[in-house]
Amino acid sequence: MPCTFEMCVLKNAWSRVVDNSAPTAPTVLLKRTKHHKGSIYCLAWSPAGDLLATGSNDKTVKLMRFNSHACNLEGQEVELTMHDGTVRDVCFIEDTSNKTSLLVSGGAGDCKIYVTDCATGKTFQALSGHSGHVLSLYNWGGAMFVSGSQDKTVRFWDLRTGGCVNVISPPTGHPSKGSAVASLAVDPSGRLLVCGHDDGSCALHDVRGSRALQRFTPHSSDVRSVRFSPGAYYLLTAGYDGRVVLTDLQGDLTCALPSVPVARHPDKVISARWHPDDFSFLSTSADKTVVLWTIPPV
């Protein structure tokens, strides 16, 4: 994995990308080499787009302020060194009561999840509970977030109480049916949780009803990215089998769901992210490319 990150603005605007359009090279507006001493495993933007965080196997998190108008970094970056293992994921939470941003980070080592005040750069919470490496984090607004782990569990955390408020574990008496939770997401309403596992399967859970809906297998190996489309009508998954798959969530979620591969890379797909408004998405791969895709209208 690279220790450099690039922020690109595509020459073709999202809205102009159509089916069968020829790929074009992006314009790189900012590039930093040797940003970390090791590989960069994760990156996240704050909801407002003014903060950027990266995590690495050099055991550090770097927090930077970003000016979207000038497209450059501002001020001195903050290096966080509380982790004692690879940082696998980071996410931002907006603390509306104190009008500040919080950074949540997790990974290997002590398997703790750390919460940092972005205004001060001070880490003020260390959340314990997972017995395996923390592989994924997700916040859908408010003070709650979820974490997925190599210990095969998903934990719900509430920063207002400073602790875990719910745990989703493998079926009782059948721990062999579980596998590491490599990726996860919650729909904007907070009703539906999806988990991507390292055995190629995805699991849907009704959060409010505290029940499992179903488990299906859109990939033949690790599911490294799961994301709901705007409105949560579709699910986009990316896996180490080199495919990006679209699943229709508009039917009965306890029945078989129609899925179709919509993109392919010659190597492992690391992530896939929706455009916030258009029916388009970006995928990143171990083939060292980032590709912008659009799904043609039906």
Residue 174 has pLDDT above 60, yes or no: no
Does 274 score more than 60 pLDDT? yes
Q: What is the pLDDT of residue 3?
A: 64
> Which amino acid is it at 110?
D
Average pLDDT over residues 289-296: 88
The pLDDT of residue 172 is 59
Question: Domains in the chain, start-ordered, CATH in brackets?
Answer: 174-298 (2.130.10.10)
Rounded CA-CA distance 34/237 in Å is: 30
Inter-CA distances, 164 with 57, 133, 259, Å: 26, 16, 33
- The whole-number average pLDDT for the span 59-88 is 94
Least confident window among 92-96, 178-182, 236-240 = 92-96
pLDDT at position 180 is 96
Closest CA to 243 of 192, 186, 287: 287
**Is the separation of the CB atoms in 285 and 272 below 8 Å?**
no
**What pLDDT does 17 receive?**
39
Q: Considering the chain, what percentage of its residues have pLDDT values greater than 90?
A: 73
d(CA 147, CA 134): 7
Confidence of residue 14 (pLDDT cuts 50, 70, 90): very low
The whole-number pLDDT of residue 63 equals 97
The pLDDT value recorded for residue 20 is: 53
Rounded to two decimals, the pTM is 0.89
Strand positions, DSSP E, 133-222: 134-139, 144-149, 154-158, 163-168, 181-186, 192-197, 202-206, 211-216
**Residue 273's pLDDT is what?**
96
Residue 24: burial class (beta carbons within 10 Å; 0-12, 13-18, 19+): exposed
State both tokens at 281.
């998405």
Across the range 226-239, mean pLDDT stands at 95
